[in-house]
Structure 1
Amino acid sequence: MTRPPTAAQRRIVDAADPVTGRLKGTEAQLAALVGRGLAFRHPRPPRDHFLTPAGHRLRETPGDSGPAAAAEGPAPAASGVFAARAGGEEGTEEGPARLREVRGAWQGLMELRRMTRPDGATDLPCAWERTHLVQAAALALEAAGHRPARAEGGGGYRIRTTPQPEAVAVHEPDPGALRACAATLEKAGWQVGEHTEPRTGARYVLASPRRT
């Protein structure tokens, strides 16, 4: 289990540039944040450090940054347990708090795209998304307001892995909602195509991150 950030680390995260997520601190402090997955070092000079999506979520989570709060640990989103819903999860919560978490995660991902592209563009998926296909697709859909399926069944999207190395399958029983999911992913920089299950005849969307 990941240890909660220290009070000093929390202060560095809270002081990050509100737009770029750029961090200031000693090399040791910044390296510790990188080790916790809260920051990354930009590959190009001057090789500054910036918040990752998890770091952005931590900064947007209210809470005391003093010793007592550090001992108790951060809120769930701050501790890195946030996960976009791929559909079929049990005990999911909804409401303003969840909306804030999703919005913060999406903004953090857009910043990660911007900072890891030579031209600073955010229209194409970044390397993290290519190694976390289900999570990335789920975040794009949830951030756009699509409804994930519940564990007990019913409507809503479900995202699953496929034999293809860089593709996920999006299932949604409602044809209109399935097309809407495809449109959202395409807008988020994914290449999409609608297909039919050979055995069941059910339609699904195959999506993969675009490279150009």
Structure 2
Amino acid sequence: MHSITPPQSVAVRRPERDTDGLEGRRPTLDALVGKGLAVHVPGAKRTCLTEEGRQLHAHLNSTAFTPSPALPTSVLDDLVFRADDGSWQCDTPAPARQAEVELAWAAVLGQRRLHTSEQIPAPWELEQPVRAASLALEASGQQSAARDEYGRCVRAGYRVEESGRLGSPRISVKLPDSWTAVGHEDRKESAELTDFYSQNLTLYALALDRSGWTCRVIDRGYMSGSFIIAAPHKA
């Protein structure tokens, strides 16, 4: 049996139902390909399980989960790990940040399994939905928005906020200020911005759904403020 890391185990445990497509960060998927457990499909732009990978998937999902010291819940502490909700700019180098996110997400899945299953958010996630949804999005490879020291949006991406509904975060798409600034060389046309909004809302909803959250998309285009209201999957 292959020796795999917690993030690789997460990817193998929960492929897409119909295609065996895997979700995870590129280095995680590349590592699975190197082990012969998955293969990159260029035309489809996805990574799928091989026959050996499907056998491992069946084994992992038939094996009772035993809490492991490799999944410390302490990584979720705000003093150690801060979920990226799109309201700030993370200055941690990409490889180190990726390792932090993968470890934190593995810990979340470990907590979920102790309560119900990987697809049902744990109690703490219902109490801190912004933090939980932010981690789910970042762990799935989605890009967060970022702001500079003056509060200006400098990178397009997701923004997670309170929605006013208990346990239900609000997720929206934020655009760099330069994309809508009159006369700026980076300014985009309205149709392009609307398409960008719609496409990214769909990506966020798919990522959240695979991570244990049911999403309702309110798509009104960028000028009217499109957003998602997410709610935890129920057992």
Verify same fold: TM over 0.5.
Answer: yes
User: Alignment partner of 2:157: what SS?
Assistant: coil
- Corresponding letter in the other structure for 2:168: A
Q: Superposition pairs for residues 67-106 of structure 1, below 5 Å?
A: 80-106=79-105
Residue in 2 aligned with 1:6?
none
Q: Does the 8 Å contact 1:52/1:109 carry over to 2? A: no
After superposition, the CA RMSD in angstroms is 2.7
Separation of aligned partners in 2, 1:102 and 1:172: 21
Give structure 2 stretches of 5+ with no counterpart.
Answer: 1-64, 175-195
Aligned residue in 2 for 1:157: 158
Match of residue 67 from structure 2 = 21
In structure 2, which of residues 207, 229, 234 is the aligned counterpart of residue 206 of structure 1? 229
When residues 150 and 193 of structure 1 are mapped into structure 2, their CA distance, relative to the original with a 3 A threshold, is: same
CA deviation vs aligned residue, 1:80-119 (integer Å, no higher than 9, x gap): 43111000214533411100000000000000001122xx
1:115 paired with 2:114, answer: yes
Cα distance in 2, alignment partners of residues 101 and 158 from structure 1: 20
Cα 1:198–1:148, aligned 2, differ >3 Å: closer, same or farther? Answer: closer
Moved more, 106-115 or 149-158: 149-158
TM-score by length of 1: 0.60
Give the direction of change, closer, same or farther, for the CA distance of 1:177–1:116 in structure 2 (3 Å limit).
Answer: same
Shift of 1:124: 0.9
Q: CA 1:78–1:211 in 2, change beyond 3 Å: closer, same or farther?
A: closer
CA contact (8 A) 2:216 2:230 kept: yes
Q: Which residue of structure 1 aligns with residue 73 of structure 2?
A: 53
Query: 4+ runs of 1 displaced by more than 2 Å?
Result: 19-23, 50-53, 77-81, 90-94, 196-200
Q: Please give the TM-score of this superposition, normalised by the length of structure 2.
A: 0.55
Q: Which has the higher strand share?
A: 2
* Correspondence for 2:141: 145
> Matches of 2:73 and 2:99 in 1, distance apart?
13
